[in-house]
A and B are shown apart, each in its own frame.
Chain A
């Protein structure tokens, strides 16, 4: 019998489109080459994959597309380390290696009939966008959708090409802020938690999802609680150094949990129980 570390072997995929989002973020449309693997790649909003540039390494990237649009996968990737820098050099028709999906997605099925509040900062919108578009594709199942989003500067806002679609969707509020304005910016200036307080979403029959830089998440969690959201109504998705994606390599171990396999999606109730180094 051959020794094959099956689980850790990625498959070939092809980049079909690249969208420049910001000076350091690009969105890659990717199609898995093998039909069978493509079929078996059934994911939920909030899950992630391991993307490889062989010879450089692997990187953990959340899936920003929605399973309701099955023709392609989308990954919005910030150029921040060796692997993401290599990925950023890819253009259409280039090959990339991929394995997954990993982690637990958001329990979107359980949220039918509820209002949704999304609070995102910077590239943290990427995993939430999967949920947003999933809900727009199942619009009648969900109530009002409110998206509160901010970035460092206007140039750092991701998915700008999609805002019009979102604004035109039924019962969809999009509020945007930037930490610092640049010339020509007519919108709001200020931090995300300040905008959240101003928007004052009601906790009544609502779920709040947040993702962004750790410091933003910290304040947003506190603010949501003070607005009356219960810990079970608040849900976030955590980032961590990961490699295997399946709870073995040990990097993302925090308390008795592994962010990769027990998360990355956690309710505030679950987070409050974990003692560990975040």
Chain B
């Protein structure tokens, strides 16, 4: 499909038409926090904000009912949970959050086992990604292989001031663009050149710094002092994991009594001390520095080894939300520095193969 141009004043009209496809979610500023909310009468989207809460939970829900059980005279009855899932659109999702779903796919839709409710929600959701014209102070997507203008999701749009440039990236993306037929014009060659120029400029606008490779992190894994220093102020509160668009660890929990109840799959956090506590008392990660090391290693080493991508999209929410100002960028800089104190220039560092 040919790239399109949508006049700014027609954005609302397109949004209105998208409602015929399914539920539309967009960034909304709440009283205390901003998040992706269902857009309908009275709820105004605000595309200028980068939401405090990522839209992860719209597809990978915080609490997913797995089953209901009843124990009666005739024994045990297990009833699978099920509900109708309607089509949905996440409108104005930023490239980092959009890319986070690719990372979740690698974890939850692996060939060994597919998380079923996630796979259904994912299939039913169209992501309309809005390029970031102004990076935030804690943004570092370019350091973790992303870009504020990254073309990810099903539709990609960029604000050109008086108009949006709209590009469908998949068949479902084309379908939702077609819904706005009549509102769009074909993009001209000039539009395309302008967009290419903007893509380059936006990429440069997010500061990029050297990050450690898998090999680097494996080398400092046993450097206890490094990790203890890093975790010195960490409270293990788990805020970073709950606001992370790629964290996906979960717990399976029953709620009920011996006669009846439900079983849920709910978000959990590797920062909690009981996360790895086994019956009998064995716990491989009692110390909080080991848990922080686990989180960093998982995102910046293990995930790359297993899936070929970094398990972080550089959204910076963990930095903004941390009550003791732990800054993952400082970790990345320090780790790279410790490992490459004797090696080459910053440019050389930036271009290293991350799997090395």
A residues adjacent to B (C-beta < 8 A): 1-12, 54-59, 80-84, 95, 97, 214, 239-241, 243-244, 246-251, 253-256, 261, 275-278
Contacts and interface: CB of A to CB of B under 8 A. Distances in A.
B298 A253 contact: yes
6 contacts: A3-B116, A6-B80, A8-B66, A10-B67, A95-B71, A247-B112
A248 B107 CA distance: 7
B265 interface: yes
Nearest to B247: A250
B278 A5 contact: no
B75 to A, nearest CB: 5
A9 B67 contact: yes
Given A1-B120, A3-B121, A277-B285, A82 B113 contact: no
A241 B277 contact: yes
Contacts of B248: 248, 250
Nearest to B293: A277
B176 to A, nearest CB: 19
Contacts of B120: 1-4
A249 B249 contact: yes
Given A54-B76, A81-B280, A277-B285, A249 B71 contact: no
B23 to A, nearest CB: 14
Contact of A241 (B67, B76, B278, B294): B278
Interface string B244-277: 0000111111101111110101001010000111
Nearest to B67: A9
A12 B75 contact: yes
Interface residues of B, number: 64
B324 interface: no
Contacts of A277: 276, 284-285, 290, 294
A55 B256 contact: yes
Contacts of A83: 279
Nearest to B277: A241
A239 B268 CA distance: 21
A54 B79 CA distance: 12
Given A250-B268, A277-B284, A54 B117 contact: no
Contact of A9 (B78, B85, B294): B78
Contacts of B69: 54-55, 97
Given A4-B82, A241-B275, A250-B275, 16 more contacts: A2-B82, A5-B64, A6-B80, A9-B66, A11-B78, A54-B78, A56-B258, A95-B76, A214-B282, A240-B276, A247-B110, A249-B249, A256-B306, A275-B218, A277-B284, A277-B290
A10 B254 contact: no
B249 A250 contact: yes
Contact of A248 (B65, B108, B275, B301): B108
B251 A243 contact: yes
Which of A80, A240, A241 lies at the interface centre, i.e. has the most chain B CB atoms within 10 A of its CB? A241
A138 to B, nearest CB: 28
Contacts of A246: 112-113
A5 B75 contact: no
B299 to A, nearest CB: 12
Given A54-B78, A95-B76, A248 B285 contact: no
A239 B66 contact: no
**Which are the 3 A-B pairs with shortest beta-carbon distances?**
A81-B279, A2-B82, A250-B249
B244 to A, nearest CB: 12
A65 B30 CA distance: 57
Contacts of A12: 75-76, 78
Contacts of B65: 5
A54 B276 contact: no
Which of A5, A55, A214 lies at the interface centre, i.e. has the most chain B CB atoms within 10 A of its CB? A5
A6 B265 CA distance: 12
A80 B278 CA distance: 10
